[in-house]
Amino acid sequence: MRYDADHLPAVQQEILEILMHQSAYCLFAFLFLPLSSHAADLNIPDSTRSAFKTLAADARVQQALAFLKADDANTLTEQKAINVIPAPPFKERVRGEFYAKRLTELGLANVRVDNEGNVIGLRAGSGHGPRLVVSAHQDTVFPEGTDVSVHEREGKVFAPGISDDTRGLAALLSVIRAFNASGIKTTGDILFVGTVGEEGMGDLRGVKALFREDKNIDGFISVDGTDVSRITYLGTGSHRYVVTFKGPGGHSFGAFGLPSAIHAMGRAIAKIGDLTVPKTPKTTFTVGTVTGGTSVNAIAGLATMEIDMRSNGGPQLLEIESKVLAAINQAIEEENARWHPEKDFEHITVDAKLVGDRPGGAASPDQSPVWISALATEAIGQKQSLTDASSTDSNVPINLGIPAVTLGGGGKSNGAHSLRESFDPTDAYLGPQKIFLTVLGLVGVEGVAPPALVKRQR
């Protein structure tokens, strides 16, 4: 798809210029994403299957799996303890400090909080293998002041954020304890990371910073959600805008005849609501929030809306973005034409600011993280499901061409992103078991099985 800037409205020209100057994360390496796959059979090499079978049968690995099951109640206790530490968007510091302390107490090396707020700890391998990141995000969607206290009834745990992604953070700690209990020596290095900025306007700032600062990462696992059958290796791209309409404002009676910022925004919303998108690849849009005006008896001089656009296809995301920006531009023209303002300052103007750019990406299922996580799923007695594309921390490595998957942390979640969010801990230990086996298969175990993850050329 090619854009001719000379034929774009002013707002679209400005946005196009912004996009052209974005970092590498803004580049769409994907032309389209394949449909979801639920095939039971993957093209896993026989050598990979054999090595994993040997690894899973090792006595120390079996000991670690038994430990993870026994550690289940302890993991849930830690999950609840983490959850009561608020971590609203851009304010994850207190939770991050707690998590850094836990990583240090569990014996990880070089535990630190980077400039973005990511908590990073190293479990070193023999020095001859790949470098794998295993992560969960610290932040929740809930604003500061939200009651995040934990309540239990009928065997379930209720609290905002208890599943997304407090479960992931707790699962990682259980996996580290299993390493400590078994004494397994891996070939590759493992970086355990609690990222920031995965939710809302965070724009994946934590994982973007991680890959910006560390060029030696060979593979990536994001633990997000709970479903242990899930394997996600595709990333949904998204663009988010804050659009601000400005006008002269004035008394609703005395200044009647001046254009209104809210009326202009209303025209834009109506036009956006009438847009059509393809079903495949899935493409969506929504005006998520609106604010504006000063009084019931005033012509609005200021109005703002936030827009979210997503697609599993790069061209389709750019297309809906272009249509939305055109609708905004047309709405301004219509509002100004309706009232014919005489002076420049009486016209409605608009500022459309790109505030979220989550890179999407397509990847092949024929890669080691997919193979190993599928084998790990079978090893814990579950059936794997290669799911639709989604938007998680894995988007960034997928976009960069680095093998990555998103896996569930175990248990069952309900009501995510709502105040009624809950977690069912039934058989939740299966999540840490799957993560543990996937990590081992990717980084390898000294004297048992080689790493399935390949070191990238530096």
Asked if residue 214 has a cis previous peptide bond (ω within 30° of 0), the answer is no
Please name the CATH architecture into which domain 46-236+360-443 falls: 3-Layer(aba) Sandwich (3.40)
| DSSP per-residue letters across 338-392 | HH--SSGGGS-EEEEEEEEEE--B---S-SHHHHHHHHHHHHTT---EEPPPB-S
The 10 Å CB-count burial string (b at 16+, else e) for 80-109 is: bebbebbbbbbebeebbebbbebbeebebe
Q: Do 72 and 88 contact (CB within 8 A), yes or no?
A: no
Q: Please, what CATH class does the domain formed by 237-358 belong to?
A: alpha beta
What would the two tokens of residue 271 be? 């036009």
Taking alpha carbons only, the member of 164, 152, 180, 181 closest to residue 77 is 152
State which H helix or E strand residue 175 sits in: helix 166-182
Angle between helices 72-83 and 166-182 (to 10 degrees): 140
In the chain, % helix, strand, coil (3-state, to 5) comes to: 35, 20, 40
Interacting residues of 21 by C-beta distance below 8 A, sequence separation 6+ = none
Q: How confident is the model at residue 200, as a pLDDT?
A: 87
Q: Any idea which residue has 């990141």 for tokens?
A: 133
| β-bridge pairing 298-299 and 404-407 | unpaired
- Return d(Cα 59, Cα 378) in angstroms, integer: 18
Query: How many H-runs (helices) and E-runs (strands) does the chain carry?
Result: 12, 18
Q: How confident is the model at residue 361, as a pLDDT?
A: 87
- Return d(Cα 7, Cα 23) in angstroms, integer: 25
Residue 187 per-residue DSSP state: S
In three-state secondary structure terms, 154 is: coil
Where do you find CATH 3.30.70.360 in the chain?
A: 237-358
Q: Any idea which residue has 């409605």 for tokens?
A: 348
Residue 194 per-residue DSSP state: E
Interacting residues of 355 by C-beta distance below 8 A, sequence separation 6+ = 201, 203, 240, 241, 242, 306
- Average pLDDT per run of 10 along the chain, which is 458 residues long? 34 40 38 40 92 97 98 98 97 98 98 98 95 98 97 97 98 98 97 96 96 97 97 96 98 97 98 96 96 97 97 94 98 96 93 96 92 97 91 96 97 96 98 98 97 91
Taking alpha carbons only, the member of 110, 54, 15 closest to residue 326 is 15
Residue 7 per-residue DSSP state: G
- Return d(Cα 185, Cα 63) in angstroms, integer: 14
Q: How confident is the model at residue 24, as a pLDDT?
A: 38
Q: Do 28 and 426 contact (CB within 8 A), yes or no?
A: no
Q: How confident is the model at residue 239, as a pLDDT?
A: 97
What would the two tokens of residue 243 be? 């659009």
State which H helix or E strand residue 396 sits in: helix 395-400
Q: How confident is the model at residue 41, as a pLDDT?
A: 73
For the chain, the C-alpha Rg in angstroms (whole number) is 24
Q: How confident is the model at residue 457, as a pLDDT?
A: 82
Q: What residues form DSSP beta bridges with 189?
A: 131
Instruction: Give the chain's end-to-end CA distance (angstroms, integer).
Output: 33
Residue 18 CB neighbours (<10 A): 14
- Return d(Cα 86, Cα 195) in angstroms, integer: 15
Where do you find CATH 3.40.630.10 in the chain?
A: 46-236+360-443
Q: Do 368 and 396 contact (CB within 8 A), yes or no?
A: no
Model-level pTM? 0.87
What would the two tokens of residue 14 be? 């400005």
